[in-house]
Structure 1
Amino acid sequence: MPTYEGQATMYMRMPMSNSNLPIAGTCTVEDKRVALKFPFTGIEFDLPQSPKENRNDFDFKIRGARGDMTLTIGYISELKCFTGKGVQEEDDTPVLTFTFWPSDSAMKKLPTC
């Protein structure tokens, strides 16, 4: 069962403002289980399939507290890492972004917040 680790960002809407506040966090993936951890909160969900290198991007939906969210998972072959983006239904602005890579990847040398 491959294990991946990485970084995540959650974009929190500010009350009475059109601004979003980015909150840095971590991402871990074990088999199909994704865990995004942020200060004071976390999000966990299952991918419809385990991540595989060089696979085409795929979309799927999860249900959250504010309705359905469409998640898109892709692979960047030059960096050998996966990317994810979560967009709330009826909104074009991402509320989640995350990147993950194999635990033995050189990408783990990137600084984290």
Structure 2
Amino acid sequence: MDPVRHSVRRRAAVTAAVVAYALTAAICRPLTWPALGAVLIAGVPLCWIGVRRRPRRAEPVGARSAAVWLGVAGLAAAFELSVWLGPDDAAHPTLSTLADPLLSTYPGRVVGYLLWVSAGLWLVSR
């Protein structure tokens, strides 16, 4: 079998499976046991693959680059934590509060699941 054709078929099959999963999982109401089950159905295998897979050899990262990204991540985490722990202020909503209107609709949940699983697949394929 031609490797290119096999790769295209495999990619099409994975894409179809992810879309079917998102369409099915989005039926579940958010923050319910069925929604948790839907997340675990995709999340557990992706985590397992990510943990078991041997990573490719990475280029060394400079201390400056690491410090910049750690600083950005730290600031984002500190901001999100301060908003979450602070008073409930409509002027400073959390990211989850901002996402609620989108994720309250079926099409929004489908898009959310597609983005989530796609990000997971991208992470485990690196």
Instruction: Name whichever structure is richer in helix by fraction.
Output: 2
Mark the structure with the bigger radius of gyration: 2
TM-score bracket for this pair, using the shorter chain length = under 0.3
Considering Cα pairs closer than 8 Å and 6+ residues apart, tell me whether 1 or 2 has the greater RCO: 2
Q: Give me the TM-score of the superposition, normalised by structure 1.
A: 0.21
Q: Give me the TM-score of the superposition, normalised by structure 2.
A: 0.20
Instruction: Name whichever structure is richer in strand by fraction.
Output: 1
